[in-house]
Copies of this chain bind each other. A is one copy, B any other.
C-alpha cells in the first residue's frame, strides 16, 4: 500500500516580489529539507516541478550526488530521503506519475498564505487521507506564492497555516513540515 499524500514544489507559475509571474530558481535546501520531512512522514513521492530544462538538470544532479555519488556513502539517511524526489516539467506530469500508484483519482490540494473562500480545514483533509485509495498531491509555491490561476484549477483549497498575530511569513520548507505534521503526524 502506497502513501496517498505527495508534495509538488512548484517553481512556475509563481509570483515574484513585484507580483509578476516568473519561474523561480531551484533552492538546494528546499529539495533537501522537504525530502527529509516528507520521508519522515512516510511520503513516497516529492516532485520538483519546473519548466526549465537547466533547473531540472540541476535537480537531477543534486539528487544523484546524494543517491549514487560521494554523498551516498557520506550520508545514508540523506540518500534515503532524496530517493523519493522526482523531477518533472509540469504539474500534469507529476499528477500522472503519482496516479500510477493508485486506482482512485489523484486530487490536487493547494494552499497559500492568505485565507480564501471555500477552503477545507487540515482536520477535514486529514480525515479524507484515511482512505488509502484517496490520493492527494499537495502543491507548494516558491517565490512569493503560486499564481491565482493555480487556485482556480486545483481540486481542493486548503486553509493556510497561520501562526499568532498578523505576521505570517513562513519559509516554504517550514510550512511543508507543519502541513505534513498536521496531515500525517501521529497524535
Would A171 and B41 count as touching, CB distance under 8 A? no
CB distance from A32 to the nearest CB of B (A): 7
* Whole-angstrom CA separation of A161 from B77 in the bound complex: 17
8 A Cβ contacts from A129-148 to B: none
Write out the residue numbers on chain B whose beta carbons fall within 8 Å of the beta carbon of A78. Answer: 169
Would A181 and B181 count as touching, CB distance under 8 A? yes
Q: Is A45 an interface residue (CB 8 A)?
A: no
Would A36 and B171 count as touching, CB distance under 8 A? yes
Would B162 and A32 count as touching, CB distance under 8 A? no
Would B40 and A167 count as touching, CB distance under 8 A? yes
Which of A53-61, A62-70, A98-106, A172-180 faces chain B?
Answer: A172-180
- Given contact pairs A161-B181, A186-B162, A174 touches B42 in the complex (Cβ within 8 A): no
Would B42 and A170 count as touching, CB distance under 8 A? no
- Given contact pairs A169-B77, A169-B81, A174-B174, A164 touches B41 in the complex (Cβ within 8 A): yes
Would B170 and A171 count as touching, CB distance under 8 A? no
Interface size range on A against B: 35 or more
Q: Is A153 an interface residue (CB 8 A)?
A: no
Would A163 and B29 count as touching, CB distance under 8 A? no
- Given contact pairs A181-B178, A181-B181, A164 touches B42 in the complex (Cβ within 8 A): yes
CB distance from A60 to the nearest CB of B (A): 22
Q: Is A11 an interface residue (CB 8 A)?
A: no
Name the one of B37, B163, B185, B186 contacting A40, with C-beta atoms under 8 angstroms.
Answer: B163
Would B33 and A174 count as touching, CB distance under 8 A? yes
Write out the residue numbers on chain B whose beta carbons fall within 8 Å of the beta carbon of A36. Answer: 169-171, 174
Q: A80-B167, A175-B177 are in contact. List 8 more A-B contacts (CB 8 A).
A: A17-B75, A33-B171, A36-B171, A81-B169, A163-B186, A170-B177, A174-B176, A174-B177
Sample 5 A-B pairs with CB under 8 A, ordered by A number.
A36-B170, A37-B171, A39-B167, A41-B164, A181-B182
